[in-house]
Structure 1
């Protein structure tokens, strides 16, 4: 078989924000293919950033993902829905309805869930870096350039990955740079399930002709079929010596200090049998219960917020889709709302015009992870107002630890930077509890 496919303080326009990286370091990115079915171009989807990482110095900062830039939730949803529509057009409605979707941690967990929702697919699972006590890991794969390389697969049952084998398994990532991580994931899933039909979907695809050839060879050698779908395809030019140049370049100090803000804590109601995300699997049949629970969560939060104050809903690392849905609910209720999440990735921060990562906070991980700091970037009003937005920080109970409130923790650095913070806590559905609930139904 063969593989097929084509190679600031506000929601930023890459035509304006890529110039500092391009002018200073010579990095260039361009569209290579225009898909007439997609309304998106490369410069609408990503802007050039940098990272402090010896394995990869460039960073594609998505304008539609809600990771590094506070993003209107409707923009996040529209991009995911458009990607889902391209997938459905490629594989057909019947196959889409029966498919299983796998999102990649940490960045694409919310994107993958949104694509699952847009497809009305059978099941969703995302890979994870979390290792809860007693959780069963059925497989894993590596991401070579990532700051945290190992992806774990922890579905409530193996059937979630093996169901409907005649329909493709759809892997979702925010960007495809070389395709290597997707091929490693396919190898792991093929070993577990024997599935032979895959779709790799992404917002942007930057594979070179050599990468395309390697993908085709992999498919042929392993007897699998792999199709690629993306909103935009492009190429990137990385000059020699970029990693050293970025490493040696001065950056803006993290953790700015302002008038310390206040913290309010809210416990969000959440049914014990409804998964709050896709870490252990999410079925199409879970959708109604999830939607109703989100509505209750939004109703619980509204009394704590003022419609005159802009709000950034911030998810905790892999917990992206639930915060996105809460942000959508708050926006519909009249709260000026954007969405983003914290991250493990140490990006390069520089407060200069024409660069998308101008402010950053670093903090101790609320989950036990010695020596590995966490980050969140920008956290500024999308309209460029000098007033700092209120933060609604969504966390699940494994992250509700003493480190959450300790000096150097996320609440300490957010409030020290001048933000008022509403901490919204939700109970995570464990793997065993979810397995038991599904076996009883």
Structure 2
């Protein structure tokens, strides 16, 4: 397998992958290499993966770059949006991004009536989903939207603007599915805003929205995908990829709606100046990993953020290594961690709602790659908003 090839001419990029070729045309934003890389998906539905460098999921990202990305997206949203405004972060990849954009928007516009929701692949006991929808191309297609607090339910029902946040947009079909699924609850909805880091749709999906819609991204353009390897395209997803797990009773409250950004009850993480620490989120639970990384850097440490994920990708190109984990939520879905040594960590910290086999599996993964790095699990627990 050869390394990925990116040729740039007049803002047109060709990305050669084992599963095919991406042709990317940029009409707005920085060079692609500043924001993302690429890999081949182990998924018969879609053979490519846009690998963000500023998200903190598949490749290590510094917390300052992640926060800057969140703030840059929030800055594109008007303070004059019809209120109340509801933000919806997309599981699993964009749950931290969504909450971070919401936090940045609230900080900029404290007087705006707003709430934050996220989709989830984990069920919260005692809470019935207000809606469900499917993401056709994904390895995990089913999204649940759950709300526990009656005050948040009322705000959602009264909301006039819906802001949907994902990490990237290829066709916009997921944005459309999410919005349509919310219509049964959001009877007063009048305005739709979609947000992502990179948008390759050309904006064609906006015509399919039920209400006026605007799109926001740091980079935008068009994408063409030319599949080339039938053997790779026929790769089957592992059984259980779409399995739903169970969220713990003390799990993050963003699964059931927030009126302010959340923070976990957990131990304070100490570090030495200059210590290189990789902080891992676990699936949807990734916003607290960013907060831990910021805590480390405030002490002079050198932190980076990544996450254990369901995303099935092939080793090569942006994915220098792949390690397999057991899903702590009991879904049976296979989970992975890519590029575990790319930050060259002195220590690994896993921010977890549930303590399972993460530490042993992370240590084993690094040993297989020839490194013996200490691993610490930080249990993160959450309380209902008061």
TM-score, normalization: structure 1?
0.72
Of residues 259, 270, 284, the one that matches 1:283 is 259
Deviations 1:321-358 (A, max 9, x none): 111011011112111110011100111112xxxx2111
Q: Tell me which of the two structures has the higher relative contact order, counting C-alpha pairs closer than 8 angstroms and 6 or more residues apart.
A: 1
Separation in structure 1 between the aligned mates of residue 362 and residue 126 of structure 2, nearest angstrom: 27
- Partner of residue 320, structure 2: 358
1:420 aligns with 2:374: yes
Contact 2:43/2:233 (CA < 8 Å) preserved in 1? Answer: no
- Partner of residue 71, structure 1: 61
Return the structure number with greater helix share: 1
| Distance apart, 1:405 and its partner CA | 6.5
Q: Flag structure 1 segments of 5+ consecutive residues without an equivalent.
A: 1-12, 249-271
The count of aligned residue pairs is 356
Of residues 107, 110, 129, the one that matches 1:137 is 129
Return the structure number with greater strand share: 2
Of residues 322, 325, 330, the one that matches 2:288 is 322
- Partner of residue 339, structure 2: 378
Separation in structure 2 between the aligned mates of residue 26 and residue 412 of structure 1, nearest angstrom: 33
- TM alignment of 1:99-110, pairs within 5 A: 99-110=85-96
The runs of 4+ residues in structure 1 deviating greater than 6 Å are 13-16
- Partner of residue 174, structure 1: 167
- Partner of residue 301, structure 1: 269
Deviations 1:115-157 (A, max 9, x none): 0011006221111000133232111111111111111011223
Contact 1:128/1:279 (CA < 8 Å) preserved in 2? Answer: yes
Q: Flag structure 2 segments of 5+ consecutive residues without an equivalent.
A: 107-111, 236-249
Structure 1 or 2, whichever has the larger Rg, is: 1
Change (3 A) 1:182 1:405: same
Separation in structure 2 between the aligned mates of residue 410 and residue 97 of structure 1, nearest angstrom: 44
1:349 aligns with 2:325: no
Separation in structure 2 between the aligned mates of residue 405 and residue 359 of structure 1, nearest angstrom: 18
- Partner of residue 197, structure 2: 203
Separation in structure 1 between the aligned mates of residue 227 and residue 38 of structure 2, nearest angstrom: 17
1:186 aligns with 2:160: no
- TM alignment of 1:393-432, pairs within 5 A: 393-396=350-353, 399-401=354-356, 403-404=357-358, 409-410=361-362, 412-414=364-366, 417=369, 418-429=372-383
Of residues 157, 163, 173, the one that matches 2:155 is 163
Of residues 9, 34, 42, the one that matches 2:32 is 42
Give the SS at the match of 1:340: strand
- Partner of residue 62, structure 1: 52
Of residues 218, 232, 235, the one that matches 2:219 is 232
Give RMSD over aligned pairs. 3.1
Deviations 1:28-61 (A, max 9, x none): 3434322xxx6x4433222121110000110000
Change (3 A) 1:118 1:366: same
Contact 1:175/1:203 (CA < 8 Å) preserved in 2? Answer: yes
Separation in structure 2 between the aligned mates of residue 325 and residue 277 of structure 1, nearest angstrom: 16
Deviations 1:258-306 (A, max 9, x none): xxxxxxxxxxxxxx8xx8452112213x66xx3xx67x74xx210xx44
- Partner of residue 239, structure 2: none
- TM alignment of 1:72-151, pairs within 5 A: 72-87=62-77, 92-95=78-81, 98-120=84-106, 122-151=114-143
| Distance apart, 1:243 and its partner CA | 5.6
Give the SS at the match of 1:325: helix
Separation in structure 1 between the aligned mates of residue 185 and residue 379 of structure 2, nearest angstrom: 34
Separation in structure 1 between the aligned mates of residue 17 and residue 118 of structure 2, nearest angstrom: 37
Change (3 A) 1:173 1:32: same
Separation in structure 1 between the aligned mates of residue 348 and residue 148 of structure 2, nearest angstrom: 32
TM-score, normalization: structure 2?
0.82
Contact 2:15/2:23 (CA < 8 Å) preserved in 1? Answer: no
Give the SS at the match of 2:255: coil
- Partner of residue 261, structure 1: none
Change (3 A) 1:203 1:20: closer
Give the SS at the match of 1:193: coil
Contact 2:95/2:284 (CA < 8 Å) preserved in 1? Answer: yes
- Partner of residue 28, structure 1: 22
Separation in structure 2 between the aligned mates of residue 330 and residue 43 of structure 1, nearest angstrom: 27
Separation in structure 1 between the aligned mates of residue 56 and residue 63 of structure 2, nearest angstrom: 8
| Distance apart, 1:320 and its partner CA | 1.2
